[in-house]
Amino acid sequence: MSGETEGFFNDDGTPVNPSWVSKPGLCVTCRHDNDPGQEVFCALTRVDQQGGDGFRCEAYGKLSRE
C-alpha cells in the first residue's frame, strides 16, 4: 500500500478517485446531486457499484423542478 490514509479505497486497498467514476443518469435527476452534505455518500455509492450491471441508490429522490 502507498501509505495513504485519506480518500476512497477499494476493498483491496487501492486508491480510487471518485471524479473518475462516471455519474449515472439517475444521479443527474436526484435532489441530492450537487448537495455538499451528500457528496461523500453519493461518491461512495457510485464507486461501490462501478462496473456493475445496473445502478441502484437507496437515497434517490426525484429532483423537483418547481
Contacts of 43 (CB under 8 A, 6+ apart): 8, 18, 21
Segment 9-15 shows an average pLDDT of 87
Residue 3 one-letter amino acid: G
DSSP 4-58: --SSEE-TTS-EE-GGGS---HHHHTBTTTT-TTTHHHHHHHHHHHTTSSS---T
Q: Place 52 in a pLDDT band, splitting at 50, 70 and 90.
A: confident
Tell me what the pLDDT averaged over the chain comes to. Answer: 87
Q: Place 11 in a pLDDT band, splitting at 50, 70 and 90.
A: confident
Q: What is the domain partition of the chain in residue ranges?
A: 23-66
